[in-house]
Amino acid sequence: MRATGHSASFLANDSNYNGPQHPVVGVSWEDAKAYCEWAGKRLPTEEEWQQACQGRDGREYPWGNGFGSGRANIEGFREGFLQTAPVGSYPNGASPYGAMDMAGNVWEWTSSLFRLFEIVDMV
């Protein structure tokens, strides 16, 4: 945070949210964008995030069309997680590209707004 000049999240010291291998929570879009720029990266567009999550075959969830349990941190309190779950806790919920935790757990920031779209092949 010193490198970007941004303040720590109000949840930074809350052990209910921040533990080893847990996702970062409570950061603003500006904070996320600044961190990506500091790391030489960028936030994905909504379309890029959607494709990484669902692939190209029109599935509803990263793993397919049926919801099922044990694939995402949706009911964490029933599975022993008070708030967030450690990254990779739900390997059966991986996307077609192997991306983990694309559903449940926390929300993600993108560089563009959500809109309905149709995935097309990029050349």
| Inside any domain, residue 36 | yes
Name the domain count of the chain.
Answer: 1
pLDDT in the model for residue 26: 86
Q: How far apart are the C-alpha atoms of 45 and 2, rounded to whole Å?
A: 26
Give the range of the structural domain holding residue 41, as residue numbers without chain letter.
Answer: 29-93
| Inside any domain, residue 23 | no
Q: Are 17 and 73 in contact (CB under 8 A)?
A: no
Task: Please say if the pLDDT value at position 76 is more than 70.
Answer: no
Q: Are 62 and 96 in contact (CB under 8 A)?
A: yes
Cα radius of gyration (the chain):
16
| Inside any domain, residue 100 | no
pLDDT in the model for residue 121: 61
| Inside any domain, residue 106 | no
Q: Is 55 helix (H, G, I), strand (E, B) or coil?
A: coil
pLDDT in the model for residue 92: 93
Predicted structure pTM score: 0.78
| Inside any domain, residue 101 | no
pLDDT in the model for residue 2: 65
pLDDT in the model for residue 36: 95
Average pLDDT value for residue range 57-73: 88
Q: Torsions phi, psi of 33, nearest 5?
A: -65, -45
pLDDT in the model for residue 83: 83
| Inside any domain, residue 33 | yes
Task: Please say if the pLDDT value at position 71 is more than 80.
Answer: yes
| Inside any domain, residue 53 | yes
